[in-house]
Homo-oligomer: A and B are copies of this chain.
Amino acid sequence: MGKNLTTRSEDYSKWYNELVVKADLAENSGVRGCMVIKPYGFAIWEKIQAGLDKMFKETGHENAYFPLFIPKSYLSKEASHVEGFAKECAVVTHYRLKNAEDGSGIIVDPEAKLEEELIVRPTSETIIWDTYRRWIQSYRDLPLLINQWANVVRWEMRTRLFLRTSEFLWQEGHTAHATEKEAVAEAELILDIYADFAENHMAVPVIKGTKTESERFAGAIETYCIEALMQDGKALQAGTSHFLGQNFAKAFDVKFATKEGNQEYVWATSWGVSTRLIGALIMAHSDDNGLVLPPKLAPIQVVIIPIYKGLDQLEAISEKVNPLVKQLRAKGISVKYDDRDTQKPGFKFNEYELKGVPVRLAIGQRDLDNGTFEVARRDTLAKETVLAEDLISKIEFLMEDIQSNIFQRASDFRNANITEVNSYDEFKDILEKKGGFIAAYWDGTSETEERIKEETKATIRCIPLEAKSESGSCMVTGKPSARRVLFAKAY
């Protein structure tokens, strides 16, 4: 198996597209803009789901399921929401097919036209808030902390596997609260969960911040986000958490009786991350040899490859390997013993390197003689010989070490690629030659933001939550500015 992978320096974008397909993560389907997530890619998504789901449940959230379809009229109820979401979406207009009378095949039955068109959900605020009206009467019903794992559709003209597809999988949380303070705290709690997950499971460092007005979620008062940096110097928004104020409660007339007996509109949040995270994971860590996966999300954490001539040698190797497999599994480490006789060891080495398996063990006749294994780590490609009796503790060490090493590597890269600039010329220069995040003063107006975007394609990724407060003047207009914001070109 030759990898024949385009290198990152040759063409980063092509490298990504090839890697997704060659590592068996996903592929384009026969339906425009919709991907097939292959078993290996889906196994990563299952790990992402399991990790986040646990964090949501530990903080009191429950899962539920709401309809795929949204009546067209629902979308119009929240004014800015409809502007943001009622554009590129899949519209169901009919509910029946029939055989064409001329025998030419099946056609849409014109008599089965829906009275009101249904939109395939691009996000579920409207259908959920229509439901919450029935669920919320009193302060006793609050807070309502609900999450949904679902597919959503946003019709996209230009799609890329995981990063931008017409259909994608995600989770969307929708919560209702008695007070503004509680709702803001919820939006911030979720942002912290997202950042924790990104950094400690995905090993991807992120910057927490808020979006500018023009980048905010349609219908939100405040959009919190986590922003990550990819190896090509472009930013990727990895998750958003929205404080929605009372906008949806007012649009869908959701009031509650307070303890004092007054009727008040409830306060809301919504938040989501999607299969896009897999794109971030790939682009943050992988190299010219293929995927590099953090142990916590790797479907296979350890692969064992026997190097043998003849069945006798294989049997002797298997006798060593089988108990090891059991021991590792008992410790919760996922392990694959690849004793296929249809492929050679070199082919297998390549395959698991391409697929980013964190640790590879090889064992041949000499190892049998010496009581050793060859241990290779995917992140550094370093190899060493380890005594069989030290192997389990070595692997446990590597699970931790690889996880922290790739986080450190990504952090070093990200930190080296945040540049402070003080003039628009410098800004354009850095953007062109170096990329990454650029910290610059901005006057806070949408006009300036729009001008920068048009002239440079860079957008304000976020107003960092943890930025030092230092006043300066806008790099474009010279007007006063209270602190630097982060610009970047973005996915």
Q: Which residues of A contact B (CB under 8 A)?
A: 27, 29-31, 34-39, 42-43, 45-46, 62-76, 82, 86-98, 105-106, 108, 117-120, 127, 130-131, 134, 140, 146, 150-151, 153, 155, 167, 169, 342
Contacts and interface: CB of A to CB of B under 8 A. Distances in A.
Contacts of A62: 39, 42-43
Label chain A's interface by main secondary structure: mixed
A75 to B, nearest CB: 7
Contacts of A127: 29-31
Contacts of A130: 29-30
B74 A34 contact: no
A97 B89 contact: yes
Contacts of A140: 342
A29 B87 contact: no
A46 B63 contact: yes
Nearest to A88: B96
Contact of A42 (B36, B63, B86, B93): B63
Contact of A87 (B86, B89, B96, B153): B96
Contacts of A108: 72, 91, 93, 117
Contacts of A36: 64-67, 131
Contact of A105 (B29, B76, B97): B76
A118 B37 CA distance: 19
B118 A90 contact: yes
Nearest to A67: B34
Nearest to A94: B91
Contacts of A86: 97, 106
A41 to B, nearest CB: 8
B95 A93 contact: no
B93 A97 contact: no
Nearest to A133: B30
Given A31-B118, A34-B69, A64 B42 contact: yes
A27 B167 contact: no
Contacts of A82: 106
Contact of A29 (B67, B73, B91): B67
A87 B93 contact: no
A134 B131 CA distance: 42
B87 A64 contact: no
A95 B106 contact: no
Nearest to A128: B36
10 contacts: A29-B130, A36-B66, A45-B65, A68-B153, A86-B97, A88-B96, A89-B95, A91-B95, A92-B120, A108-B117
A189 to B, nearest CB: 19
Contacts of A167: 67-69
Contacts of A76: 105-106
B31 A67 contact: yes
A39 B63 contact: yes
A70 B108 CA distance: 14
Contact of A95 (B38, B39, B73, B88): B88
B46 A106 contact: no
A137 to B, nearest CB: 13
A120 B96 CA distance: 11
Contacts of A134: 27
A155 B94 CA distance: 10
Given A39-B63, A42-B63, A43-B63, 16 more contacts: A30-B130, A31-B67, A34-B69, A36-B65, A36-B67, A36-B131, A39-B64, A69-B90, A75-B97, A76-B106, A87-B96, A91-B94, A97-B119, A108-B117, A140-B342, A150-B151
